[in-house]
Structure 1
Amino acid sequence: MPNPSLGRLRLVAQGLVTRPWATPTEAVRAFGAMQGQDLPGVLASAALRTTSGAAGDVIAALDAGRLVRGYPMRGTVFLMTADDVTWTTELCAAPAIRAARSRRPQLGLDDDHVERARSVAVEALSEHPLSRTELVARWSEAGLPTAEGRGYHLLGALIHDTTLVYGPWNGTDQDVALSETWLPTGRTLAERFNGDRVAAVAEMLRRYLLSHGPATVRDFAWWTKLTLREIRAALPAVEGDLERDPGSDGEPAYWRPGLVEEARELGRASAAPLLLPGFDELVLGYADRLFALTPDEHAALVPGNNGVFRKSVVRGGRVVGTWARAGRSSRRTLELTDFTPHSPRQRATLERLFAAYPFVSP
């Protein structure tokens, strides 16, 4: 059953009520990573947690090389800070790399294709980033197979091994950049943590629980796909930085100190209506999403359970509907699908939020 009290605590922890971070880089660093397969959505997710709430600030951080996207875990693209993407990927990406490699023969590809793609990419991107289309064209010109998903597979392989990242904004997407020239130095697991995986897991776990809590070790294990054994080895290093609830099922939840008191002081503000992107961490950051909605509502949020999430309307710590942007660029309108009815006052609030929403295109 939905748990609005838990939902309101998570809204406050995630910065969606108070927007506590001055810049998108600070917000993303606090989270460790934000799920980012919907690029306009994750840019909005970062903006909605900052003081300005402006998508332009997120785009500026991409262009300056402070924020990038990579494939650090679960074979999924995430928005991250430039100094975190390499060590996090080295720490967490191995299962996704193995899964991708096992699919390679079905595409008629092998490791030699990946190495040839790497050589072409390093040369092509040595001076400046290129769009995905331009990079794949370079591979085709070099005789590499790129049709029917092969180009995307090669790109994914080189992002997984941190040769490449998604870098600056080109107006509609991110160009592909060479990590060696686009990312800062001192970014590897060896450089940041002297190769100590436990210390690196502890850093990720601390950020996750501070930004997502109340949450459990199993939530973090689902989010990263790290093993429970490795996570539990790191847990003693972070427990002192957190508050905890033993939990009725024996699995304690952890959260940042003072969160409960802050949510109480915020009162109604923690229950105010919000418009969130489809892949926001509030919905996708936990193993179980049913704290925020019923199974039937979840089916409406993710039709056909196909992995494509609609944009959510949140109120009172719960997902109470979905929303869409209708009309042409000159006359955009808010289109609501309600799970729970909105009062006229609540609808007026949603219209104001829609007008101020950090869209990246007209």
Structure 2
Amino acid sequence: MQRISDEQRRRRLGRRHLLAPSIRAQAPVAVADALVALHATDAATVFLSACARLADASVEAVERALYEEVGLVRLLSMRNTLFAVSAELAPHVDASTARAIAAKERRTLVKHLAEPVNGLDERWLAETEAAALAVLGARGSATGSELSAAVPALRTKITVFPGKKWEAVQGVASRVIRVLAADGRIRRDRPRGSWTSSQFRWIASEPWPAGSAADSRAELARRWLLSYGPGTEADLKWWTGWTLTEVRTALAAVGAEEVALDTGTGFVAAGDTAPESPVEPWAALLPGLDPSAMGWADRDFHLDKDHRLALFDRSGNIGPTVWWNGSIVGGWAQRADGEVVWRLLTEPGSDAAAVIEAEAARLSVWVGEARITPRFRTPLERELTA
């Protein structure tokens, strides 16, 4: 069995995730494809992850890809999480993962509506959705509040989990909009505020063409292996949210090869066992939930276990991180005055400081006047901004 060491895994990460300056990408879509998908739960993460890997980092380039060219699209998909993926990959993400999530979201909403205390049904939901889509068709785009103002049904209040300790009364608008977006009938357009805002306008769209779930799972597994391999069954199961049977079937379908790791065994794409050539020394300041930190369930090959308490929140979300040659060595934050600051948790050597400093300066330049506060705040990020 071919062996791939942790050092080789870190080399793969640096090269395949476009983190060394000499191999940075020219376009945001290329970044998304190199990483398979960009986390989009926090609106700023898409921009920070993309620009960390662009030869010419700019907010405008990412906005153009998202809203003008629509080469990047957001889908509620892996692990019931919002991701930005290339339009070319989106049908596979939809068929492999997002379709099932959309169906579950709809079932859940219908169940809430049908509670006796609410007295609503699928017909009411269909009529409300049609009215919302008609407004978007007439206006071109609208915020959630604008849709609610134009469609009276969206101002309906429902009681969820009646009789339970966690019973609550909620507005139905956000749930209806979420279901429409999960179905691919609407998509997020430019936000009301800056690129760091999650208050999006919505625009009508067409659902992705129906495809084979099994074939699309195989394609997504193949791409994940090329970007994140070697990885284990547990890693791919965690990253996708699939069942273990679905993971094993997808790996078999693409002829994944088993390899020996420094601890245990993993898989790579068929024929992808050659040693990775080194790249120049590199540093990166990556955002919370960046794909390079969230690509595996087991991250011991690039993350010291002793640093987890400082870098993760209580739900397991990783915050902004400082990287050196494939390992996480610290964390960073942006203070209220715009200064980018960091703290090293591991001493990476004398050569690292100047490279990290230069990368922090590059980040400050393209971020400009924007202020970034991660949605999921971690102990170290809070300390640095105190």
Provide the TM-score with structure 2 as the length reference. Answer: 0.76
Residue 153 of structure 1 aligns to a residue whose secondary structure is helix
Give the deviation of 1:273 after TM superposition. 2.1
Q: 1:75 and 1:56 mapped to 2: Cα distance?
A: 28
User: Does the C-alpha gap of structure 1 residues 100 and 307 become closer, same or farther in structure 2, counting only changes over 3 Å?
Assistant: farther
Please tell me whether the aligned partners of residues 285 and 360 of structure 2 are also in contact (alpha carbons under 8 angstroms).
Answer: yes
Tell me if 1:356 matches 2:362. yes
User: Does the C-alpha gap of structure 1 residues 334 and 125 become closer, same or farther in structure 2, counting only changes over 3 Å?
Assistant: same
User: Does the C-alpha gap of structure 1 residues 306 and 137 become closer, same or farther in structure 2, counting only changes over 3 Å?
Assistant: farther
How do 1:175-186 and structure 2 match up within 5 A? 175-180=201-206
1:212-259 Cα deviation digits (max 9, x unpaired): 2222343222211223323333334433xx765245777432158678
* Larger CA Rg, structure 1 vs 2: 2
Give the deviation of 1:336 after TM superposition. 1.6
Q: 2:57 and 2:269 mapped to 1: Cα distance?
A: 25
Paired residue for 1:193? none
Gaps of 5+ in 2: 159-168, 371-386
User: Does the C-alpha gap of structure 1 residues 214 and 252 become closer, same or farther in structure 2, counting only changes over 3 Å?
Assistant: closer
Instruction: Judge which range, 132-141 or 220-229, deviates more.
Output: 132-141
Please tell me whether the aligned partners of residues 285 and 359 of structure 2 are also in contact (alpha carbons under 8 angstroms).
Answer: yes
Paired residue for 1:285? 295
Q: 1:253 and 1:360 mapped to 2: Cα distance?
A: 41
Please tell me whether the aligned partners of residues 96 and 214 of structure 2 are also in contact (alpha carbons under 8 angstroms).
Answer: no
1:122-159 Cα deviation digits (max 9, x unpaired): 11211412233433444456543387464332222222
Residue 274 of structure 1 aligns to a residue whose secondary structure is strand
Paired residue for 2:268? 254
Paired residue for 1:9? 12
Paired residue for 1:62? 66
Aligned match of 1:319 in 328, 331, 356?
A: 328
Aligned match of 1:82 in 77, 87, 107?
A: 87
Residue 77 of structure 2 aligns to a residue whose secondary structure is strand
How do 1:1-362 and structure 2 match up within 5 A? 3=6, 5-17=8-20, 18-64=22-68, 65-93=70-98, 94-95=100-101, 97-98=103-104, 101-102=107-108, 105=112, 111-112=122-123, 114-127=125-138, 128-139=140-151, 142-145=154-157, 148=170, 150-168=172-190, 170-172=192-194, 173=197, 174-180=200-206, 187-190=208-211, 196-239=212-255, 245-247=259-261, 251-254=265-268, 261-262=275-276, 264-266=277-279, 268-269=280-281, 272-303=282-313, 305-328=314-337, 332-341=338-347, 346-357=352-363, 358-359=366-367, 362=370
Give, as a single letter, the amino acid of the residue that structure 1 aligns with 2:209. Answer: T
Q: 2:354 and 2:24 mapped to 1: Cα distance?
A: 25
User: Does the C-alpha gap of structure 1 residues 74 and 111 become closer, same or farther in structure 2, counting only changes over 3 Å?
Assistant: farther
Please tell me whether the aligned partners of residues 11 and 282 of structure 1 are also in contact (alpha carbons under 8 angstroms).
Answer: no
Q: 2:202 and 2:214 mapped to 1: Cα distance?
A: 31
User: Does the C-alpha gap of structure 1 residues 213 and 13 become closer, same or farther in structure 2, counting only changes over 3 Å?
Assistant: farther
User: Does the C-alpha gap of structure 1 residues 21 and 251 become closer, same or farther in structure 2, counting only changes over 3 Å?
Assistant: same
Give, as a single letter, the amino acid of the residue that structure 2 aligns with 1:12. Answer: R
Which has the bigger relative contact order, CA under 8 A and spacing at least 6? 1
Instruction: Judge which range, 146-155 or 272-281, deviates more.
Output: 146-155
Please tell me whether the aligned partners of residues 212 and 285 of structure 1 are also in contact (alpha carbons under 8 angstroms).
Answer: yes
Give the deviation of 1:179 after TM superposition. 1.6
Please tell me whether the aligned partners of residues 14 and 325 of structure 2 are also in contact (alpha carbons under 8 angstroms).
Answer: no
Provide the TM-score with structure 1 as the length reference. Answer: 0.80
Instruction: Judge which range, 88-97 or 37-46, deviates more.
Output: 88-97
Give, as a single letter, the amino acid of the residue that structure 2 aligns with 1:340. Answer: T
User: Does the C-alpha gap of structure 1 residues 9 and 199 become closer, same or farther in structure 2, counting only changes over 3 Å?
Assistant: same
Give the deviation of 1:27 after TM superposition. 2.4
RMSD: 3.3
Q: 2:41 and 2:368 mapped to 1: Cα distance?
A: 15
Please tell me whether the aligned partners of residues 16 and 48 of structure 1 are also in contact (alpha carbons under 8 angstroms).
Answer: yes
Give the deviation of 1:280 after TM superposition. 0.5
Gaps of 5+ in 1: 191-195
User: Does the C-alpha gap of structure 1 residues 121 and 291 become closer, same or farther in structure 2, counting only changes over 3 Å?
Assistant: farther
Q: 2:343 and 2:263 mapped to 1: Cα distance?
A: 35
Alignment: residue pair count: 341
Identity %: 26
Please tell me whether the aligned partners of residues 214 and 254 of structure 1 are also in contact (alpha carbons under 8 angstroms).
Answer: yes
